[in-house]
């Protein structure tokens, strides 16, 4: 419009004024006038082609112009003179001439076509809207004129053009701005007219057919898109009206049924070469006329008040009433198909599927556009719930894939928009159509199965579909298990049993994975905890009557649903028992507290009425039985039905749908009597009493048998039925219309007393449908689930097993990489859900299934296997998936670790594992050993490790490996690997890199305890199994690898070492005990054990004893094995001690350490390291502890006695022993400072024991063959004994020392001197001298304390005895001069001291004189003159004192002699000599 104004001259103010006068949103008035003028000219131009319309004005009135021409010319003259605004002009003024032409019988098709085009153009100018003057009448005129269009047919082509333009105008009416004022009657008329043209187009050209169908489709879309705009308040005013079918008042008032349309064929005028008149108003059916259910229409029309109300509704602006009629009309089209004998259950593709496709497409469009708005309009909703869905159920059995696909699309839309209002209808469709016909065993064609499977998968892709199926059906006691049935169907359909993989299998797989992916996506969305407490029924509760308080609150309905599912699961088991034996079934239900201990009729009746899965035959027999319980249950069973506002035949249908009517007449009578009583109780209006209901029920059963039993040849007529039921209503007749309705209902729809079998389904029978609709009014509400995982745990438990099996089979048979990836996505989703809900068994089963596809290295060689693995997409994808699951969800893997480890071992054998896989187990000392000690390198783990972790080396050796693979013979030149082979190897390596296998072990510290334990057990089992194989070298490599991984895990889990230590230790122990030859496995076991102890001691002091105790395994090594590794073992022990000495505090720990060090004393290579370690412990007082003192002394003694090293090492060992005496002295002083006397005594006692063990150890070394060691040991012993006097050990300890150390030493030395060769024990005489001096030194130092003892006499006699023996000893066959001189002198000194102390005195006459007598008795054998020398009568007191002084000085000189050094030893020896 703006463009037109810019082209006008500036001076034309009038035009501008007119433009300004046009209302906002309207075109320029002059522009519109010009357009209409142009249309007038077009119509007149076409009319002038005919002589009839071409006559000019003449005097004779008969020759005047036709009124059609005159009206057009008049409009032309007036159109430019109108001064009002355009929307203020009555549109009838400029439309009426065109409408007259359209309605005229005299005009031909070309003229009518041009007139229709003109009307279409005017309507599309948007000059007519709801604000235009007289718009209601104008639209009425347009619709009336176009729908009653008449014209002469001159040729088929022009006729089709006119029909297309009629469609064009009618669609423009509905799409125009003024369409909102169209009445319901207008809409019905428009749709009726369009359908007539659609029907007529069947015999016309293809273009007209398509345009007609398109127009009809657009009409329905426009009409039902208006539904969302209708005010709900308007609908509320309609809700009070009757819900019976409406009859519209058509303009031509013709009542032609839809069935007659199809019987009479095409209703358009036939073209026979002669002009004929065509009128759309004279041919078709009418929307609003119920053509099939004629009896219902008659009933509705009999109610005049209802007719008036409906007629008023039809004149109001269009809305719900016209939509109801359109639905009725579309359903009637589909019903006509069935009534014409085209049963969709038995039809073939040869039947005309055009009409059902057309009608179903329109229904689908209506539902798409109306959407959820239908639920706000009860009449529309009721139509969809009953009539529309029933038709969908019927055509769901169609053999036509097109029809079936369209039905499924409609159901999907209904589910999306209205599922809360269609609970039982959806259950019926899923159970009776999809779940039955998607399986070939019910006779469905492959095309049907595929279409239904596609529909089911589309539903499964809805995020909450399967959740809602589980909630609303599987957890509803009265419904079937739709969720489980769908899961079973999908899993079974995915199995390619004896067939190659097809699209059906892939479809089913997609459905399963879609469900799993939906669950996986919901993980983490805050939900009601799945950790629900189980339902425990300790007594019966009437759970049938339980209700949920609030279905909109998950905190209420989730526990309620779970409880109902528990009841249903138990009830299904009880139903199975009941179907086999009713009595035992009831007993089982009593045992599970689902029925009371004492059966009551109401609870049993509820069980029979509401439990799904019961056999109807068993129910019928039970109800008809004459037992007392059955007789009581029957009326209670009837009371579970609500027959209010139902006709008798409908109520009887509903009643008999729940069981099979027994065959015996007495049982039938009892059953019908209970039914009649219940029906009369709720519907007493027509029937006089319950007897009337009983008689009529019998009559209905007889009629049903008569009409539907093929053996009955002569059928009962309506008159016969009415006559048979005279005077049954309390002596009066029932209304004829009432009986007639029952008769026709039974004739049309059989009451099935036995289940329907075959291709059809019981769900499609009219009786079952009526029962379903009735039940839907009282069923539990449909619960809408959001995206939270309320019941995913319960669902997954049911679905996981079949899904894993199905996906595995599909993957096994697939050959497409896209299918591979789909399967892997499914596996990962299952793993994610399993881990989230801690379903370890499911995760283990999944891993087992996956690992079955990991088949590399069997039976190919290593090189061939690497290439095969690189080329095998399936194997590589499985590998990535398995290790992705292991790294992500390892916490919840249990037995699956065995399979994962098997895969790892296979990859290890191929050399594809990363180098850092077991890096934590590598010990620096092992590495140093490999480079320093070449001999051990031959047997070390390093050579083995190169084979399984040196992937770079294997990669660098790729050419040589491929050359070996491709060489034809050993003497032929080796081939260079091809690019394909190189690419395959590269793919294999990249795949393993993506797996991050090393994370399994390096991150094992984050695994849950149970999972970690299972992983360790799997490694142990794998290592143990590999040792049992025949291929020793290869299996040993595997065992070593498993052991390294085990050590790695142990080191990474130091905080949880107690959990796995027992298994690890036992495994290493078995290796050590079973190995008799050096090998890599035992090496790894030993050094791995040392490494574990070294690494864990600083962190696990509470396990220090247990860890150190494990090192005792080293002591159990076979001699050959120990000899091969002991130097390195000692180095490791040394490192361990030096790093952790302060942490080893127990006797048990030190016992292990010293045992290991003691062994080294006899090992040439290891003794040096062992002695250094022992010196490290003993040289510093801080590391020598009461806990390890005795152990260290024993170890030092073994080093002193060892002849492996030099004499100096033995001397140093003796020095360590002697110096350790300083620690005893320090501990003694510390003990004396202890606060508690009891503690001090205990500590002193322990110190004494340690001192005794020290001197005992030295005593043993004093017997050494080597003179230097032997004599140095004696001097060290003298030091330890003489210096300890100050510590004041108890006398008992000294007596023990004399018996076990000194006297034993003297005896042993004496024995050696007499029995051994002087070549073996050189200079034994000197040793005897030192030993004897030691005896007398110690004796004299302890003389005061010992003399107080009762056993002193015995001790003195032992001293004399040994002195006597030594004096008489012969060395080399002759007496020793040294000893002969030394013994008397030592005795004389001792006697002098004893005399001076008053110990050795003559006590003759005083009583006890044994000491005196025994002394001289023994000395006579040694030196008879000793008594006279010691006890001379003339000795003066001065002489005696002088003797005492000399004796003391001699003792002091001797003390200097006994300094434990080589120099002193030499001086003393020379002095004596």
Give the residue-averaged pLDDT of 789-798. Answer: 90
pLDDT at 1381: 86
Asked whether 1389 and 1336 are in contact (CB, 8 A), the reply is yes
pLDDT at 1128: 92
- Whether pLDDT at 910 is above 90: no
Asked whether 141 and 92 are in contact (CB, 8 A), the reply is yes
Share of the chain above pLDDT 70, in %: 80
Give the residue-averaged pLDDT of 20-49. Answer: 77
Q: What is the mean pLDDT of the chain?
A: 80
- Phi and psi of 481, rounded to 5°? -85, 80
As a whole number of angstroms, the distance between CA 1429 and CA 652 comes to 146
As a whole number of angstroms, the distance between CA 397 and CA 445 comes to 11
pLDDT at 1285: 60
Asked whether 278 and 150 are in contact (CB, 8 A), the reply is yes
pLDDT at 359: 92
Structure tokens at 807: 């996906």
Question: 976 or 16: which carries more pLDDT confidence?
Answer: 976
Task: Give 462's DSSP letter.
Answer: S
Q: List beta partners, residue 278.
A: 151
As a whole number of angstroms, the distance between CA 18 and CA 920 comes to 95
Q: CA nearest 845: which of 892, 804, 891?
A: 804
pLDDT at 482: 93
Q: How far from 575 is each of 194, 483, 578, 602, CA to CA, in Å?
A: 55, 19, 5, 17
- Phi and psi of 108, rounded to 5°? -90, 175
> Which range (225-234, 431-440, 1440-1449) has the least confidence?
1440-1449
Share of the chain above pLDDT 90, in %: 30
pTM, whole model, 2 decimals? 0.78
* Three-state secondary structure string covering 356-374: HHHHHHHHHHHHHHHHHHH
Strand stretches in 672-775, DSSP E: none
pLDDT at 1399: 83
As a whole number of angstroms, the distance between CA 1467 and CA 1473 comes to 10
Asked whether 385 and 423 are in contact (CB, 8 A), the reply is no
| 1363: helix, strand or coil | helix
> Which range (434-438, 763-767, 949-953, 988-992) has the least confidence?
949-953
- Whether pLDDT at 956 is above 60: no
Q: Could you read off the pLDDT of 758-770 as tens digits, one per residue?
A: 334 444 677 888 8
Rg over CA atoms, the chain: 57
With cut-offs at 50, 70 and 90, classify the pLDDT of residue 855. Answer: confident
Structure tokens at 1291: 């006398």
What's the distance, Cα to Cα, between the start and end of the chain in Å? 149
pLDDT at 409: 95
pLDDT at 218: 94
Asked whether 1152 and 1113 are in contact (CB, 8 A), the reply is no
Question: 886 or 862: which carries more pLDDT confidence?
Answer: 886
Structure tokens at 984: 């395959």
- Whether pLDDT at 292 is above 70: no
- Whether pLDDT at 1307 is above 60: yes
Structure tokens at 522: 């919901």
Question: 994 or 1320: which carries more pLDDT confidence?
Answer: 994
CA atoms 457, 458, 460, 465: torsion sign: negative
pLDDT at 302: 42
Q: CA nearest 809: which of 484, 486, 500?
A: 500
Asked whether 1099 and 1054 are in contact (CB, 8 A), the reply is yes
As a whole number of angstroms, the distance between CA 614 and CA 1115 comes to 73
Q: CA nearest 807: which of 454, 456, 506?
A: 506
- Whether pLDDT at 1186 is above 70: yes
Q: How far from 372 is each of 120, 419, 426, 781, CA to CA, in Å?
A: 34, 10, 16, 17
pLDDT at 775: 86
Q: Could you read off the pLDDT of 1070-1121 as tens digits, one per residue?
A: 999 888 899 999 999 999 999 999 998 888 888 888 888 899 999 889 988 8
pLDDT at 827: 95
Tokens 């039976």 map to which residue? 859
Q: Residue 641: which region, alpha, beta or left (left: phi > 0; alpha: psi -120 to 50)?
A: beta
- Whether pLDDT at 537 is above 70: no
Q: Residue 265: which region, alpha, beta or left (left: phi > 0; alpha: psi -120 to 50)?
A: left
Q: Could you read off the pLDDT of 225-279 as tens digits, one per residue?
A: 988 887 554 544 444 443 333 333 333 333 333 333 333 333 233 333 334 445 5
Annotated active-site positions, please?
A: 664
Q: Could you read off the pLDDT of 177-222 as tens digits, one per residue?
A: 888 889 999 999 999 999 999 888 888 888 998 999 999 999 999 9
DSSP secondary structure string, 1329-1341? HHHHHHHHHHHHH
Q: How far from 630 is each of 543, 583, 1250, CA to CA, in Å?
A: 21, 11, 94
Task: Give 87's DSSP letter.
Answer: G
As a whole number of angstroms, the distance between CA 1450 and CA 1447 comes to 5
pLDDT at 727: 87
Q: CA nearest 1200: which of 1165, 1166, 1174?
A: 1174
Question: How many Cα atoms within 13 Å fall on the side-chain side of residue 691?
Answer: 6
As a whole number of angstroms, the distance between CA 951 and CA 931 comes to 21
Q: Could you read off the pLDDT of 679-738 as tens digits, one per residue?
A: 988 887 788 888 888 899 989 989 988 888 888 888 889 898 888 888 888 888 888 898
> Which range (578-582, 1020-1024, 1466-1470) has the least confidence?
1466-1470
Tokens 């006038």 map to which residue? 33
Structure tokens at 1319: 């070549």
């Amino acid at each position: 419009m703006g463009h037109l104004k810019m082209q006008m001259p500036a001076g034309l103010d009038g035009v501008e004024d007119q433009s300004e006068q046009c209302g906002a949103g309207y075109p320029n008035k002059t522009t519109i006038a010009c357009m209409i003028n142009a249309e007038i000219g077009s119509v007149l131009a076409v009319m002038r082609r005919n002589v009839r319309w071409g006559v000019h004005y003449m005097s004779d009135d008969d020759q005047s112009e036709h009124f059609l021409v005159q009206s057009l010319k008049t409009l032309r003259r007036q159109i430019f003179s109108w001064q009002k605004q355009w929307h203020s002009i009555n549109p009838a003024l400029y439309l009426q001439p065109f409408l007259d032409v359209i309605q005229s019988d005299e005009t031909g098709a070309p003229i009518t076509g041009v007139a229709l085009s003109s009307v279409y153009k005017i309507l599309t100018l948007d000059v007519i809207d709801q604000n235009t003057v007289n718009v209601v009448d104008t639209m009425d005129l347009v619709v009336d004129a176009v729908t009653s269009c008449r014209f002469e047919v001159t040729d088929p082509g022009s006729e089709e053009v006119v029909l297309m333009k009629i469609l064009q105008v009618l669609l423009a009416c509905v799409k125009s701005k003024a369409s909102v004022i169209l009445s319901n009657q207008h809409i019905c008329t428009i749709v009726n007219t369009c359908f007539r043209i659609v029907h007529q187009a069947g015999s016309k050209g293809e273009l007209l057919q398509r345009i007609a169908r398109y127009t009809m489709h657009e009409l329905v879309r426009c009409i039902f898109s208006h539904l969302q705009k209708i005010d709900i308040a308007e609908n509320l005013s309609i809700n009070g009206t009757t819900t019976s079918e409406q009859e519209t008042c058509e303009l031509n008032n013709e009542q032609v049924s839809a069935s007659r349309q199809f019987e009479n064929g095409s209703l358009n005028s036939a073209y026979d070469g002669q002009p004929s008149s065509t009128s759309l108003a004279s041919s078709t059916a009418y929307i609003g006329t119920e053509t099939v259910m004629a009896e219902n229409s008659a009933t509705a029309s009999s109610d005049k008040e209802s007719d008036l109300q409906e007629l008023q509704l039809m004149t109001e602006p269009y809305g719900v009433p016209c939509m109801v009629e359109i639905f009725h009309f579309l359903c009637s089209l589909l019903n006509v198909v069935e009534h014409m004998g085209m049963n969709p259950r038995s039809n073939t593709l040869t039947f005309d599927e055009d009409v059902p496709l057309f009608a179903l497409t329109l229904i689908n469009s209506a539902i798409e556009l109306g959407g959820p708005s239908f639920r706000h309009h009860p009449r529309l909703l009721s139509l969809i719930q009953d009539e529309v869905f029933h038709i969908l159920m019927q055509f769901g059995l169609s053999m036509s894939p097109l029809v079936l696909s369209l039905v499924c699309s409609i159901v999907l839309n209904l589910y999306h928009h209205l599922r809360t209002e269609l609970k039982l209808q959806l259950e019926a469709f899923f159970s009776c159509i999809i779940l039955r016909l998607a399986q070939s065993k019910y006779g469905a064609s492959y095309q049907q199965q595929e279409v239904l499977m596609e529909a089911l998968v589309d539903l499964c892709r809805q995020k909450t579909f399967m959740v809602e199926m589980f909630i609303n059906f599987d957890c509803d006691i009265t419904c079937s298990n739709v969720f489980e049935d769908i899961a079973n169907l999908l899993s079974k359909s995915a199995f390619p049993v004896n067939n190659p993989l097809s699209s059906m299998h892939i479809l089913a797989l997609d459905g399963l994975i879609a469900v799993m992916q939906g669950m996986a996506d919901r993980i983490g969305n805050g939900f009601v905890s799945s950790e629900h407490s189980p339902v425990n029924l300790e007594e019966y509760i009437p759970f049938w009557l339980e209700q949920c308080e609030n279905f909109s609150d998950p905190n209420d309905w989730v526990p309620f649903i779970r409880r109902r599912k528990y009841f249903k699961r138990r009830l299904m088991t009880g139903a199975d028992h009941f179907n086999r034996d009713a009595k035992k079934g009831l007993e089982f239900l009593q045992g599970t507290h689902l029925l009371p201990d004492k059966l009551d009729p109401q609870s049993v009746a509820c069980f029979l009425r509401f439990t799904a899965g019961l056999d109807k035959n068993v129910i019928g027999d039970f109800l008809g039985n004459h037992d007392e319980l059955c007789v009581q249950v029957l009326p209670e069973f009837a009371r579970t039905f609500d027959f209010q506002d139902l006709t008798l035949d409908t109520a009887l249908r509903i009643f008999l749908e729940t069981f099979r009517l027994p065959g015996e007449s007495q049982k039938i009578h009892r059953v019908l009597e209970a039914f009649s009583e219940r029906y009369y109780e709720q519907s007493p209006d027509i029937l006089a009493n319950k007897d009337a209901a009983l008689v009529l029920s019998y009559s209905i059963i007889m009629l049903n048998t008569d009409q539907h039993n093929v053996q009955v040849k002569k059928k009962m007529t309506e008159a016969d039925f009415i006559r048979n039921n005279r005077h049954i209503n309390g002596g009066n007749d029932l209304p004829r219309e009432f009986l007639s309705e029952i008769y026709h209902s039974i004739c049309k729809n059989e009451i099935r007393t036995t289940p329907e079998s075959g291709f059809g389904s019981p769900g499609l029978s009219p009786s079952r449908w009526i029962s379903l609709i009735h039940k839907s009014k009282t069923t539990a509400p449909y619960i809408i689930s959001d995206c939270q995982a309320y019941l995913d745990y319960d669902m997954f438990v049911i679905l996981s097993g079949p899904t894993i099996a199905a996906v595995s089979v599909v993957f096994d048979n697939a050959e497409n990489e896209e299918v591979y990836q789909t399967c892997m996505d499914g596996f990962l989703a299952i793993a994610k859900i399993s881990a989230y809900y801690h379903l370890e068994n499911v995760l283990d089963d999944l891993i087992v299934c996956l690992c079955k596809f990991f088949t590399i290295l069997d039976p190919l060689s290593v090189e061939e296997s690497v290439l095969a693995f690189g080329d095998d997409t399936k194997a590589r994808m499985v590998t990535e998936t398995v290790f992705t699951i292991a790294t992500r969800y390892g916490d919840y893997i249990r037995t699956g670790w065995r399979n994962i480890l098997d895969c790892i071992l296979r990859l290890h054998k191929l050399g594809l594992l990363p180098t850092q896989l077991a890096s934590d187990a590598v010990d620096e000392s092992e590495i140093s050993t490999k480079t320093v000690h070449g001999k051990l390198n031959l047997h070390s783990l390093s050579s083995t490790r190169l084979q399984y972790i040196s992937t770079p080396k294997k990669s660098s050796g790729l050419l040589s490996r491929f050359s070996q693979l491709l060489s034809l013979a050993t003497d032929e030149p080796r081939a260079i690997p091809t690019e394909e082979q190189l690419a395959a190897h590269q793919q294999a390596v990249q795949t393993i890199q993506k797996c991050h296998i090393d994370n399994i072990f390096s991150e094992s510290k984050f695994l849950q305890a149970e999972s970690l334990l299972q992983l360790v057990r799997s490694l142990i089992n794998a290592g143990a199994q590999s040792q049992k194989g025949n291929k020793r070298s290869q299996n040993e490599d595997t065992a070593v690898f498993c052991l390294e991984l085990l050590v790695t895990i142990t080191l990474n889990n130091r905080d949880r070492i107690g959990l796995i230590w027992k298994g690890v230790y036992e495994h290493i122990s078995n290796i050590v005990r079973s190995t008799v030859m050096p090998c890599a496995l035992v090496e790894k076991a030993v050094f791995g054990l040392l490494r574990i102890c070294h690494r864990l001691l600083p962190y696990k002091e509470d396990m220090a004893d247990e860890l150190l105790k494990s090192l005792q395994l080293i002591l159990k090594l076979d001699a050959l094995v120990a000899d091969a590794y002991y130097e390195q073992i000692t180095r490791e022990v040394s490192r361990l001690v030096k790093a952790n000495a302060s942490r080893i505090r127990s006797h048990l720990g030190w016992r292990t350490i010293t045992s290991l060090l003691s062994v080294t004393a006899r090992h040439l290579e290891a003794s040096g390291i062992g002695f250094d370690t022992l010196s490290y412990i003993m040289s510093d007082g801080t590391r020598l502890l009461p806990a390890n003192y005795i152990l260290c002394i024993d170890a030092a003694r073994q080093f002193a006695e060892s002849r492996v090293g030099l004499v100096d090492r033995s001397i140093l060992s003796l020095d360590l022993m002697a110096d350790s005496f300083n620690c005893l002295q320090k501990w003694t002083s510390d003990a004396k400072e202890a606060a508690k006397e009891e503690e001090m005594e205990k500590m002193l006692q322990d110190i004494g024991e340690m001192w005794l063990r020290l001197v005992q150890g030295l005593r043993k070394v004093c017997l050494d063959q080597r003179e230097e060691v032997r004599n140095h040991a004696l001097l060290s012993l003298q030091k330890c004994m003489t210096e300890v006097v100050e510590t004041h050990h108890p006398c008992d300890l000294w007596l023990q020392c004399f018996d076990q150390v000194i006297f034993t030493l003297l005896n042993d030395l004496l024995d050696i001197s007499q029995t051994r060769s002087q070549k073996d024990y050189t200079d034994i005489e000197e040793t005897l001298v030192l030993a004897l001096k030691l005896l007398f030194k110690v004796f004299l130092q302890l003389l005061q304390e010992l003399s107080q003892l009762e056993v002193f006499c015995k001790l003195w006699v032992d001293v004399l005895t040994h002195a006597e023996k030594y004096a008489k000893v012969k060395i080399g066959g002759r007496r020793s001069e040294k000893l002969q001189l030394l013994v008397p002198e030592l005795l004389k000194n001792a006697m002098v001291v004893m005399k001076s102390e008053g110990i050795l005195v003559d006590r003759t006459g005083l009583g006890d004189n044994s000491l005196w007598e025994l002394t001289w008795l023994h000395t006579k054998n040694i030196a008879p003159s000793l008594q006279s020398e010691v006890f001379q009568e003339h000795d003066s007191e001065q002489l005696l004192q002088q003797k005492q002084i000399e004796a003391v000085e001699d003792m002091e000189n001797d003390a200097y002699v006994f300094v434990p050094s080589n120099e002193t030893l030499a001086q003393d020896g020379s002095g004596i000599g």
